Amino acid sequence: MKTGQAMWLHERLELAFEELCELSGLTETELRELVDFGVLAPIDPDAQHWAFGADRLVVARSARRLRRDFDLDPHAVALVVALLERVRDLEEELRDLRARLPGGGAG
């Protein structure tokens, strides 16, 4: 990870486990829990040192905010984040379908 430079949070850029903790504000335990609950998947779960796609930082930051602001336990965080991810995926699919419709689906 380069510091000081603007960085697109896309899946092909890798963040080390510690970097994801530092940037998201999650503790190592919290981040491990999110991985255990299947909310955040490392690029290679069998690797000795986990790395994540940089787009996972958005999810990790969201998890930290939700935990703090709603006082949620780890299972509830996992549930909310998983549902939000599904909403995001559906929104992306909707955006794609609209883009493919003549007139953008506007009529």
4 sits near other proteins (criterion: CB under 8 A): yes
107 sits near other proteins (criterion: CB under 8 A): no
Site map for other proteins, 14-53, x if CB under 8 A?
A: ---------x------------------------------
85-104 positions binding other proteins, by CB under 8 A: 91-92, 95-96, 98-100, 102-104
From residue 1, alpha-carbon distances to 17, 68, 87 in Å are 12, 27, 29
Contacts of residue 12, Cβ cutoff 8 Å, sequence gap at least 6: 53
- Are 30 and 64 within 8 A, CB to CB? yes
User: Is 81 exposed, middle or buried, given 0-12, 13-18 or 19+ CB atoms closer than 10 A?
Assistant: buried
Task: Give residues in contact with other proteins (CB under 8 A).
Answer: 3-10, 12-13, 23, 55, 57-58, 61-62, 65-66, 69-70, 80, 84, 91-92, 95-96, 98-100, 102-104
